[in-house]
Amino acid sequence: MKGAFLIVKGHVEGLGERGDAMIRVENLVKEYKTKKGIIIGVDHVNVTIEKGEVFGIVGYSGAGKSSFIRCLNLLETPSNGEIYIDGVGLTSLSKQELRAARLKIGMIFQHFYLISAKTVAENIAFALKAANHPRKEINDRVHELLEMVGLADKAEVYPAQLSGGQKQRVGIARALANNPSVLLCDEATSALDPSTTKSILKLLKKINKELGITIVLITHEMEVVKEICDRVAVMQDGKFVEEGPVYEVFAHPQEELTKHFISSVLQFDLPAAIVEHCAGTIVKIQFKGAVAGEGVISDMLQQFNVKGNFLHGKIEYIQDIPLGIFIMELQGSSSAVADAISYLEKRTEQVEVIRDAA
């Protein structure tokens, strides 16, 4: 089977000792010494990432995302704490053992870092040559990887002749060369246009599903998290301030920072002019899961003596599960509107009265 040799060659003693956790981070701290004093990049972070999971880390520039992800393969040496990758404690390894362990940790970058003087095939082969694989096996693996990332016809092309999306595909192929268990993505789509970003995320999702590779992805875009991640952590000032399954974080954000990020995907601010022209009660209704496909609002309008006017609405599919949010005006007697809202509260996930006509 093509590529199977890489799994053997890249084996590190002790892999798989700690059950289903692919990545376990304990009390991770990263400090930087500057002329102005010590700056904390990562501040006592603890997290467990399961095998086969796509784990997103979202935050603004300076939040500590890049410092955290670069500590996972010890490109940055932690100031304190422990990092386990598939049961192997990286911080206790010798230099030789760390080189072997890194074969199982692929990484792709925002700016690609391809060697301009080498062809696409040579860029991918570089990682295999560094791991001392025979030429014949290298050629077979390069061909396999080019097919996987959709660049089979670009083997002899140089990076300057590629688009940004094609360059990132080369970067992904290079990161997968040694059959890693973990793929680290450092702002992998930030330099790409929206259409290309979607194609790269689709490729990463395919890689995750077909190869079972655990992916850790950092970004400042919640749209990226929505598209591909299973769980997400929101990072601020070196800390994980909120963490959980992507759907639950979207449906029930706890921190103001998280709510701000989600608002970039689920934007529901009504213009003041619209609100001023509404005479009735304005409510925001959230539908979660299967309820989003039910006729809750039509049932409510039929059962109670109220009129409904839709002002805004959207259904997003997160991990193929619908999350619907609608804003509407309810007109009728105060008692009928109150009964209608009570009914909605029983049938839906959440009802918020934005403005009470009373």
Residues 3-19: pLDDT tens digits?
Answer: 333 333 333 333 444 34
Please name the amino acid found at residue 310.
F
Q: What is the pTM of this model?
A: 0.84
Distance from C-alpha of 283 to C-alpha of 289, rounded to nearest angstrom:
20
pLDDT of residue 13: 39
Distance from C-alpha of 65 to C-alpha of 235, rounded to nearest angstrom:
7
List of residues 6+ apart from 245 with CB closer than 8 A: 230, 231
pLDDT of residue 287: 83
- Assigned token pair, 7: 């799994």
At 52 the three-state DSSP class reads coil
Give which of 268, 264, 258 is closest to 350, Cα–Cα: 268
Domain boundary assignment for the chain = 4-263, 272-355
Burial class (CB in 10 A: 0-12, 13-18, 19+), 82: middle
Residues 108-156: pLDDT tens digits?
Answer: 988 888 999 999 999 999 989 888 888 889 999 999 999 999 999 999 9
Distance from C-alpha of 201 to C-alpha of 247, rounded to nearest angstrom:
18
User: Per-residue pLDDT averaged across 212-240, rounded?
Assistant: 95
Q: State the chain's mean pLDDT as an integer.
A: 88
Given a contact cutoff of 8 angstroms between Cβ atoms, the answer to whether 297 and 343 are in contact is no
CATH architecture of the domain covering 4-263:
3-Layer(aba) Sandwich (3.40)
- Fold of the domain spanning 272-355: Alpha-Beta Plaits (3.30.70)
